[in-house]
Structure 1
Amino acid sequence: MNLDDLAHAQNAVTSIAVGVSPDEWQLPTPCDGWDVAAVLRHLMVGERAFTISLGGTPYDLAAIDADAQTVDLEDLPRAYEIGARQLRDALDAADPDATYPTGIGPMPPTHIAELRTIEALVHGWDLARGADLPLSVDPAVAERAIAHSRALLERLPEDRSPFAAPQPVADDAPALDRLVALLGRAR
């Protein structure tokens, strides 16, 4: 399995996180009600939940979230980076023909990697906006995430909704802008 896009997206998040100064963790983000720290903790929780799932063990989302809340602000970037690497290792070791439980139903490892790439890109954008830092993403990675997002949206159960309703964006906007607009972010 090729995990290059996921690694690229996670590295972009890590780059943002290490640039956050102590007084910026409480700044608001485009995620309603979430500050910069909450968005990064949310990403950490997702990485950990999927890592556990890929290991064949049911996960307790509330317990994972409680653990994430205990990470000191100055340790958040490193904790995220470690969790991101553990997820890539778990994906690499997973049976490519198996499916694993997720919050939106069973998925093969390839689809989990795509989902986590989308999460990292969109929430990386949220982090960058909240902390007013630049987010560097390869446009080809964002283009593939757009295609995966469209496919994922078609597979979602009716009772689940990603992010928010699509927002208007120019057809010639940068790929990352089109991705975040597809998933409910207004530029």
Structure 2
Amino acid sequence: MDDLAHAQEAMAAVLADLAASDWHLPSPCEGWEVGTVVRHLVTGDRAFVTSLGGTAYDLPAIALQVDAIPLGELPAAYDAGAVALHEALTTAEPGTAYPTGIGPMPPAAIAELRTIESLVHGWDVARGTGRALEVDEAVAERAIAHSLALMDRLPPDRTPFGPPQPVPDDAPAMARLVALLGRAV
């Protein structure tokens, strides 16, 4: 939970600094503008809150709701989603597997996945807008380990990330994380 909170706070700091002109800038996610990346994060948090409530989520319906949020209101929607996700994770039964798009997952694994999403897409938003995502090196190192484990769980037909990109072994952990998940650093 601490790593998730750290990742969400880092993302929120980037969002707090965005100008109206930043929302339509391209991000490192091919074909996605900055606003699209943020909508993806808000949609994901809402989906997992639903899941942690014991209900399988309807991702297209959630995405439609999030698409209706004006761009300038996305930072507040992200913050509200982070709070709701934190509350859902802290009240979820630790031994229960909840429905997700990659199969049933316990709360700890959901927290790890959302940490990775916040870090990598936070980096996307920061990079797309010429900002830095301030992340503790140890948090990013743990996200690398969790990413490798999650990649092993993905069904063969699921490829939510691009192929790993080259990066020096001694690069900062955030650079190695985003490269692992298909970003050119």
Q: State the shift of 1:60 in Å.
A: 1.1
Q: Which stretch shows the higher mean deviation, 65-74 or 136-145?
A: 65-74
Match of residue 77, structure 1, among 75, 78, 82: 75
The 3-state SS of whatever aligns with 2:184 is coil
Aligned 1:106-185 pairs, distance under 5 A: 106-185=104-183
Give the TM-score taking structure 2 as reference length. Answer: 0.98
CA distance in 2 between counterparts of 1:106 and 1:56 reads 11
Show structure 2 runs of 5+ residues with no match: none
Paired amino acid for 2:31: G
Q: State the shift of 1:35 in Å.
A: 0.5
CA distance in 2 between counterparts of 1:123 and 1:73 reads 16
Give the TM-score taking structure 1 as reference length. Answer: 0.97
Aligned 1:11-160 pairs, distance under 5 A: 11-160=9-158
Paired amino acid for 2:27: T
Q: Which stretch shows the higher mean deviation, 51-60 or 21-30?
A: 51-60
Q: Cα RMSD over matched residues?
A: 0.7
Pairs aligned (count): 185
CA distance in 1 between counterparts of 2:97 and 2:172 reads 33
Q: State the shift of 1:100 in Å.
A: 0.6
Could you tell me the percent identity over the aligned residues? 61
User: Is the 8 Å Cα contact of residues 47 and 59 (structure 2) preserved in structure 1?
Assistant: yes
CA distance in 2 between counterparts of 1:57 and 1:156 reads 21
CA distance in 2 between counterparts of 1:66 and 1:19 reads 26
